[in-house]
Structure 1
Amino acid sequence: MTITTVSSRDLNQDVTRAKKATENGPVFITDRGKPAHVLLSIEEYQRLTHQRRNIADALAMPGVADIEFSPPRVDIETQPAEFS
């Protein structure tokens, strides 16, 4: 994996070069000499964001409490086990 660093100015002048560089690793974008942003390929982004998803993480996301969710009630009929 290669890490590429470009300034904001260079990025504005040649976006295509920065996008191609993501094929080899992350591209750090600097602003006034300090890292400010990271450009990733969609594959790398998905790998980083999807590896630890579970219901607890989803419920802990900001704004989840504001989502209206009313699932329909499901009635499940059971029968006693027969051991004869």
Structure 2
Amino acid sequence: MGTTITSREFNRDVSAAKRAAEKGPVTITDHGRASHVLLTAEEYDRIANQGERLGERLQMENAENVDLLLPERTGSSLRVPEL
């Protein structure tokens, strides 16, 4: 999980927020609402680079052996058409 701190706490002790980010994402709130998330550079790079485009994956050699990780469907998005 992660840590949540207020923007005031963040401004008062940036070093503590950085230390907390070493253990996981730090959500910074402003007036009770999440406004920013602090991550380590390593974690940011990992997240930013995992989003390959589907087209790029399909154009690869041996694309038939690539496992696509698709999000699990929640609920039904199918609707009965009105006739």
Normalised to the residue count of structure 2, the TM-score between the two structures is 0.60
The gaps in structure 2 that reach 5 residues or longer are: 57-83
How far apart, CA to CA, are the structure 1 residues paired with 2:34 and 2:15? Answer: 20
Amino acid of the structure 2 residue aligned with 1:24: K
- List 4+ stretches of structure 1 deviating above 3 A: none
Q: Deviation of residue 52 (structure 1)?
A: 2.5
Q: Which residue is equivalent to 1:15?
A: 14
Q: Which residue is equivalent to 2:34?
A: 35
Q: Deviations over 1:3-31 (max 9, x none)?
A: 10010000000000000101110000000
Q: Deviations over 1:25-70 (max 9, x none)?
A: 000000001111000000110000011245x68xxxxxxxxxxxxx
How far apart, CA to CA, are the structure 2 residues paired with 1:30 and 1:10? Answer: 10
The gaps in structure 1 that reach 5 residues or longer are: 58-84
Supply the RMSD in Å over aligned alpha carbons: 1.6
Q: Which has the larger radius of gyration?
A: 1
Normalised to the residue count of structure 1, the TM-score between the two structures is 0.60
